[in-house]
Amino acid sequence: MVPVLAGLLVALGAACSNASGTGGRIASTETPGTALPGTALPGTEIPGTETPGTDSVGTAPESETDFVPVEPTGVPGLDAVDPFCGAWSVYGGSLQIISVASAFSDLDQRAITLIELASAPSIVDAVERIDENWPASLVAEHDLALDDLLGPYERRAERAVAALRASGLSDADLVVLREAWREVLRSRDSTEPAVTLPDMAPAIRGRLDAAASSFDAVATPFDHDPSLLIEGVEVPLTSAYLARSCPDVASSGVGDSL
């Protein structure tokens, strides 16, 4: 595993322990075909089927392969009532997509940079909303989490947004990019290591492409950026809060052991 990808796993895992409290890391290094970013929630069944272990008339199926679980689509928690949880889903889900594409897809570096820049306005916005909605009970960990845990990824995303603006994208265009990325988060196929950007106006897409080319020429690749190495940053109160109050964040695989 490249060092910075390991650092990303620590970043997400440190702040998003799973509901069982195991306190591991984000499950973004599993091979394509596993549930990245989520797994089926306990108790769910395939529509039109009976409880696993019996067929439609209550008899045992011929083999275990007769029951095929449904992989979820989309990043869980995007519509959480708690804005803190919803923002964290956007943040964590976006970083999962970039890290999985970097580690497992057959995309070249230019294509991965394009995904990173398309996500950058949403990552910056998500961290701002996390800050604005920070729970009072977690005030003791606020600065550490915002500066040292989320901060490195936010600062890289801010540099990517600067590249987008330099390519000619306006504030209104950045809103369009955030809406497009929301569609990516909602439709993300957890069995695929890469995502496809939705259609957008040719002028916006052209400037996005230009920004990706310029950013790719000067920036260290995401999975090799030493500024993203944040091992040792621990926010146990925040981890416990997310596991307790943001179950969709936990169910997305963030915090699972590697």
- Please say whether the beta carbons of 212 and 110 come within 8 A: yes
Judge whether 199 lies within some domain.
Answer: yes
Q: Give me the pLDDT at residue 39, please.
A: 32
Residue 106 maps to a domain: yes
pTM of the model: 0.75
Per-residue tokens: 40: 């089926």
Whether 60 is covered by a domain: the verdict is no
Which residue range(s) make up the domain with 158? 3-41+76-251
Could you tell me if residue 47 is inside a domain? Answer: no
In a domain, 46, yes or no: no
Which residue is listed with tokens 């689509």? 73
pLDDT at 205 over 90: yes
Proportion of the chain above pLDDT 70, given as a percent: 69
Residue 29 pLDDT: 34
In a domain? residue 13: yes
* Measured distance CA(159)–CA(162) in Å, rounded: 5
**Residue whose entry in the numeric block shows the structure tokens 């890290």:** 99
pLDDT at residue 231 greater than cutoff 70? yes
Query: How many domains does the chain divide into?
Result: 1
198 in any annotated domain: yes
Domain membership flag for residue 230:
yes
Candidates 250, 242, 19; CA nearest to 137 is 242
Other CB atoms closer than 10 Å to residue 111's CB: what's the count?
A: 16
Does residue 5 sit in helix, strand or coil?
helix
Residues 131-175 have pLDDT tens digits of 999 999 999 999 999 999 999 999 999 999 999 999 999 999 999
